[in-house]
Structure 1
Amino acid sequence: MTESQPAGHRYQPVAVLMVLGSCLSLQFGAAIANGLFPVAGPWGVSAIRLVSAALILLVVTRPRVRGWTMHTWRWLALFGLSLGGMNGFFYAAVQRLPLGIAVTFEFLGPLALSAALSRRARDLVWVGLALAGVALLGLDSFRGATSLDPLGVFFALVAAAFWAIYILVGARVGSMVPGQGPLAVAMSIGALAMLPIGFSGALTLVVDAKLLGLAVLTGLLGSVIPYSLEFAALRRLPRNVFGILLSLEPGFAAGIGALVLGQSLGVGSWVAIVLVISASAGVTLSEQQRRRPAPVSEPEAHKS
């Protein structure tokens, strides 16, 4: 078993479907949240999203925290803070950047993690392809095809760092404590961390039933469903594969941004997103081939 392989699990194709479902749900949640930014701001929307998601998960999972050691709680605290930071800074980026571009920059976190965990030259080729896609986004912006807000890019890069931490710590927590209870507790910690920053904005959503309903829907689509799927996938996939599989998110985000939010991208930006998605497909196929058992010759197969 390699260092990046979760203990006790083999590579499972169903985990890939979990990541795809997570990508789709997460970007629909972000699209809905985008409509709430003018009312509550990104930090207020992020806070109410995490609070509603935490409450749903706590009711559904009813985590049994008795017996959790202080060591476990320290990892859970780091997991929760990474969740909160990733959500807050991502929404701050989405307020200033098209959804597809914000997610593409944010993906630099999982991409850097995949590069650090890779042990083969072939993996680094896929990482380089994804980097070329991100570089093309920047070139497209400088040429004027897509105007990028520098502060929005900065927020997306901060979210990228939190995303990498989320993957590493989530894999560790998932191997320490079974079930979805740890995710519910971590979501609660992330919500508490975001509340002081987004309290005033969140309050404007709470007093309006319609806006509150949309905010809760954002929590369900943007947190409960995707993070539950990702947390389950983290127990089944190597961290380097999980990290680069998430590069599919820019494609989902760009498509949903165009369909739901009417955000159009230049040709260069679409090419960049395709490059990143190709890197994801390449590293996934490469990992499947590496883990496929070597064929056994007929004489060897009959040896006792």
Structure 2
Amino acid sequence: MPAPSASPTKPPTGTTASATPATPATPTPKGAPGAPGGLRGGFGPVALVVAAGVSVQFGAALAVMIMPRAGAAGVVTLRLAAAALVLLAVCRPKLRGYTRADWGTVVAFGVAMAGMNGLFYQAIDRIPLGPAVTLEVLGPLALSVIASRRLVNLLWAGLALGGVVLLSGHGGGGLGFGSLDPLGAAFAVGAGAMWAAYIVFSARTGRRFPQADGLALAMAVAAVISLPLGVAEAGSALLVPSTLALGLGVAVLSSVLPYTLELLALRRLPAPTFAILMSLEPAIAATAGFLVLHQAMSALDALAIALVIAASMGAVRAQRP
């Protein structure tokens, strides 16, 4: 699920990050969005978020295909463990020079990541991908309303929520979620709450750790948390070569690439805008379900997608300079 990053310059020791990401006061490192030689203008961070969404939802579709082999918890373990190994090998994060608050932030980020992934995969093991992501995105939408400092963002959040309500009919047997498995729907809502926590702690981690060090360390924390559950459910099935290969593919598509792109985007986007952009996820999930899992989309789904995209565009245009 959602589903790879450089992060802002680490603030002075003892600095406390707020819940709403802000552009660092220190000079932006070379290669960062908005820096010389980096991504310029407002379109760059938005493109990063959209690309992350495409990657994570197609990764989720692939995960659904391999769940019969390893189960939901097993797929989560494969995804997080493989992603952690890749990121640790590439980033080689330093372990010294950080405060207790820095480590607390990265651990909280890892816990949020493990919870978000674990709950989401339990959801899509019970209900279709489209409704699962639709319910999950309510978490970021709630964050956008709570964190917003401009009344116009409430309008865009409401429009996005209207699209989410319409999209709830995708794979769910009509408007509403009455035909969905109640436990699966509850898992999806829980994943949305953890997604909101992920947005907050990913931004804080990005400000405290250089490059992708914080992401790699948080991914390792998430992998350690998920490992006992995955082993208990899948056992030796996790070691089958073909399953390992598919799990690596899920890890790259759903963790390494999207989390990195999202951390890059969070260096230049405030939390409310980022959260409303996350409302694109149900539309992307419906597309992935159609192309990979052969789940048809109705005219109602298309209308919902249009509303969500309109809300996301409005949120970006309303962003403060």
> Is it true that 1:6 corresponds to 2:6 in the alignment?
no
Which residue in 1 is equivalent to 2:259? 227
Map 1:148-167 → 2, pairs under 5 A: 148-167=180-199
Q: Which residue of 2 aligns with 1:83?
A: 113
Instruction: Give the Cα separation in 1 of the matches to 2:233 and 2:60.
Output: 17
TM-score (norm 1): 0.88
Instruction: Summarize deviations over 1:102-147 as a string: whole Å, max 9, x none.
Output: 1121111111111111122211111111222233345775747984
Q: Which amino acid aligns with 1:100?
A: G
Paired with 2:78 and 2:118, the residues of 1 have a C-alpha distance of 11
What amino acid sits opposite 2:243 in the alignment? L
Contact 1:6–1:175 (8 Å) recurs in 2? no
**1:208 is matched by which residue type in structure 2?**
V
Q: Which residue of 1 aligns with 2:232?
A: 200
2:21 and 2:219 map into 1 onto residues whose CA distance is 24
| CA RMSD, Structure 1 to Structure 2 (Å) | 2.1
Separation in 1 of the partners of 2:215 and 2:21?
21
Q: Which moved more, 1:202-211 or 1:160-169?
A: 202-211
**Equivalent-residue separation in structure 2 for 1:83 and 1:139 (angstroms):** 28
Name the amino acid aligned to 1:160. G
User: Would the aligned equivalents of 1:79 and 1:170 in 2 still touch at CA under 8 Å?
Assistant: yes
Q: Is the 8 A contact 2:141 2:157 kept in 1?
A: yes
Matches of 1:205 and 1:12, distance apart in 2: 45
2-structure distance, mates of 1:166, 1:62:
22
SS in 1 for 2:318: helix
The answer (yes or no) to whether the contact 1:205–1:215 under 8 Å persists in 2 is: no
Residue 132 (str. 1) matches residue 149 (str. 2): no
What is the CA distance between 1:4 and its match in structure 2? 4.6
Which of residues 229, 238, 241 in structure 2 aligns to 1:209? 241
Q: CA deviation at 1:98?
A: 2.1
- 4+ long deviations beyond 4 Å: 137-146
Partner of residue 300, structure 1: none
- The one-letter code matched in structure 1 to 2:197 is I
Aligned length: 288
Letter in structure 1 aligned against 2:282: P
Contact 2:168 2:176 in 1 (8 A): no
Secondary structure in 2 matching 1:35: helix
Structure 1 portions without partners, runs of 5+: 292-304
Q: 2:83 aligns with which of 50, 53, 66?
A: 53
Cα deviation, residue 188, structure 1: 0.5
Larger radius of gyration: 1
